[in-house]
Structure 1
């Protein structure tokens, strides 16, 4: 969900850095790509225009000598056609590059991914590319990896091309009702409900999507034990309806600490909600509750008309309900954190803030 919830501030900073590099980088990138002649593994016109909900699913095999390959959604089948989406897994560097080629010029390269690249040489793979209302979502082997906001109108996409040392065994065109597709091998974590002080500890993979089996009832407390990474940009914790990324779920509570590492100390703690198809008015306060490299315990307590958010034993803010809190059934965490434990207590308590309990986050 990084692509849904990432802040405009992050994108603006990234784009401004790229702009400083200038036109020369664009030209060099095109030349580098031309010099690296990868064999065409697959090329085919799309059977129908892409619309929101359409998914292109590729199945194939990574050959032993493959270092990178690319999937291109093109505006034609000519060699100089614009590329609306260029998905370029680089196995040696362990990340996925996204870009577009418009008028023979590459745009701003995007490399940030929310999941580790789970591709390996001499192994089969499956890649899903979903078209939504505003962007592409890309999953690899059942895990959402990244997104890419449209730079070319979706209706212009006519052709799919795969280049590199891979073998394509099949391409499917389907329509999805939700994304990502559930897999029997990837079950969402279920947040345990506890009544004692014992906290179930295990390192949980981030991004974390978790089910709340009975929601978060009035008087209950949801705890998140974690640690901020050394050089963070931001992270967020969502209480929401549904575990899907698309269609966009209703987010009842969005907690988003933002860090500005160029001006150390100027952090912001944002609270918001996504209802009726859009974000509401942000509620902001200085983000003094979280520090890079430090452990934290967040406790979200449900009251009769609001959520009370506590961080390390201090009240960090309250958030009035903007929609029916009884419909919350999922927790989503993403960003620059590690998570050691999440749990629900049937009674609010400050015991989780003690030094002994907090040590599980280290």
Structure 2
């Protein structure tokens, strides 16, 4: 379970744990301490009001050089647990990871274990995360039974020795230290088919060996062991206190690790074997020798390697392969039979309408014929994953990652970072390979030395014609958010939630397999989603998402470039409210607001809307639309003191639902709110500030046709997330 990363939320910040928290819930917070800050706090609460209990209060205090932990119950604080060590620094970036276990909260800071806090209130009562104080937030990610927890020294109990080393705290913003070797971490939930482990590192200068172990209580399920002194890669298992038979066959690509060279190692758990890729090349398969994969719960890495990043995530491409083994298909995507001809076009992360031919005797060898009667077929929607690679926090620059399933119409790349104070240029590249000689399909290149953003394509080692945008929405020393949405026609780029440019394809997107980022920036978070997430606000009814005056031609203050995060208020006419003075705080969305819901709706999809009711409101509404009308209109009416729910079908409104929730009118003038619309099998469930408000039974039979979100009226909109 992942709630999806929340980028650049305002502070104070509050969110509801939709399913509560449990053993294995992981909360990752990336932010920056304000230069003049005294304190901030992270609270795991039993409600959203100031009177509710706080199960875990994590409170760094710069005015006392201490981190205070406590619990508040029945409005009384308990006994403080103080740690007189402060791994946070004014003006510096940080990453906090809080892992919930059955016994305690385990806290790490900047990938170093910091403290544990034993439960005083049962975790099943906790339903709210609240963050306040002297910080800005770049990204918050909440995962249950997923992700990875920071490195711990191999063989040490989590809480035994203190793993924090002050010298490991980075002086550069957002730059995380390398992992400690030997390295060990838990794999929460164990392994199962479709789970993937990604390891990014660099081979040491004069290496002999390193190894990656997948372990369980009874031994080692996979020992992957590049041996430079023997020029081979050994695979084995350790069961019943003895090593098994070694596998030493070398891949066709040869010894795929080299002294001093970086690598990306992927271990993919498949039904019958582990599949191992290095730098996108298949190296080997290793048949399972352990019957119960879920018992494999520990990852170890040791030897002559510098470790930069470890990630565990799950994809479900195997669902498609399973369906191919069980059925033959008539594919409506290309109207061809059996999908042998179109299977290569199907990508994990997309939804397809397929016709399953009920033919239990089907085998792969003969080409099946189409059914002659309608009774022989069953039409269904196959939901392949809304593919998310999982957010990558604080990666080093230059950064490179492989698109495991390529990119397609709907792929969304979100990059949160900060421009270095003395930086001249940086670049984001969508590439057709990992080497310098490979083609670059899209090169996005902000240049501070020229006050321009350059876009281009490199093909056969020759750059094409530049497309220049002489407008620079980035500023030295300031944070930014870039969102790049891939469509069938172009790349759509937004900066700090304002549409910025489009770049039409010169190289087909199916050739793109690598994302590369370099230059004068640090990166806080990168998130890659296919057919998911959300794209920034666009004015309702307008194709062009940018409001021209949002990037004023005259700078807000002295300088060469318009300043999106000015330290002093902008002059009149430059929309000061849309360019906040606090770094990292994103602009409010433009109202009326409209955005696409990629892949439509289906049970378990959630829409989260964060905003503030205007000062003297009459009404606002949230519409879930499709081509034939409105599936849900949620319409708080302050002039009638009620909340109306309805649908618009066949150009006419249906029967209104006006029953008020037990909590009453849950919106108030000038008050902030978090509105959740949860798509369930038979109805939409609506929550406001964590309280259930109403259910609205579906009146539209095909939820996947609901593809547009609209918000309009007397409301200030701060954040939308699907």
Instruction: Tell whether the structures are fold-level matches, with TM greater than 0.5.
Output: no
Greater relative contact order, per chain length (Cα 8 Å cut-off, separation 6+): 1
Could you state the TM-score of these two structures normalised by the residue count of structure 1? Answer: 0.40
